[in-house]
């Protein structure tokens, strides 16, 4: 709870500032049974992702990494942590909609697209599904 103002500021900066989603549509209510995962560097939150229940399905989303730290593998590790933690809690399947970079990431984990891209504010999103049986864990270094 103490970190949520910082997380929401980052969410608004990315989703409103970069994607044109109205700031008032970005906040999530507590009733969504949400669980947030964050990555911190030098005492500062630099990324987050959330899982929540919607229509009796587990959704994953709200994935952000500070823009100057993207493409360094930070987001990949954060999303893996979130998936694996939720699977340890008994979650079997995940539903999400994502921009192209998110689709590529989730498909590299064993996810599949379940429909065509559709317009969503400044761009398109594609529906994606990941079942725990298809999840590809990170290969361990030899």
- What stretches of the chain show up as alpha helix (H) in DSSP? 4-15, 74-88, 100-108
Q: What per-residue confidence (pLDDT) applies to 32?
A: 67
Q: What per-residue confidence (pLDDT) applies to 132?
A: 95
Report how far residue 120's alpha carbon sits from residue 102's, in angstroms, rounded to the nearest whole number: 14
Q: What per-residue confidence (pLDDT) applies to 141?
A: 45
Report how far residue 20's alpha carbon sits from residue 14's, in angstroms, rounded to the nearest whole number: 9
Q: What per-residue confidence (pLDDT) applies to 19?
A: 86
**Pairing mode of beta strands 44-54, 35-41:** antiparallel
Q: pLDDT-based confidence at 28, cuts 50/70/90?
A: confident
Question: Contact, 132 vs 93, CB < 8 A?
Answer: yes
Q: How many residues does the chain have?
A: 142
Question: Contact, 45 vs 9, CB < 8 A?
Answer: no
pLDDT digits (tens, 9 = 90+) for 31-90: 667 899 999 999 999 999 999 988 889 999 999 999 888 999 999 999 999 999 999 999
Q: What per-residue confidence (pLDDT) applies to 140?
A: 57
Report how far residue 4's alpha carbon sits from residue 35's, in angstroms, rounded to the nearest whole number: 11
Q: Is the pLDDT of residue 139 over 80?
A: no
pLDDT digits (tens, 9 = 90+) for 100-121: 999 999 999 999 999 999 999 9
Arithmetic mean of pLDDT, 12-39: 84
Bridge partner residues of 128 (DSSP): 96, 113
Question: Contact, 50 vs 38, CB < 8 A?
Answer: no
């Amino acid at each position: 709870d103490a970190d949520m103002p910082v997380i929401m500021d980052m969410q608004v900066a990315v989703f409103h500032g970069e994607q044109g989603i109205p700031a008032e549509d970005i906040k999530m209510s507590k009733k969504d049974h949400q669980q947030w995962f964050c990555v911190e560097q030098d005492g500062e939150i630099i990324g987050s992702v959330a899982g929540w229940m919607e229509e009796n399905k587990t959704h994953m989303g709200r994935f952000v990494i500070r823009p100057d730290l993207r493409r360094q593998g930070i987001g990949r590790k954060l999303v893996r942590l979130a998936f694996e933690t939720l699977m340890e809690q008994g979650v079997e399947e995940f539903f999400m909609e994502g921009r192209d970079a998110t689709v590529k990431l989730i498909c590299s984990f064993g996810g599949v697209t379940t429909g065509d891209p559709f317009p969503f504010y400044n761009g398109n999103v594609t529906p994606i599904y990941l079942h725990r049986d298809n999840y590809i864990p990170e290969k361990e270094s030899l």
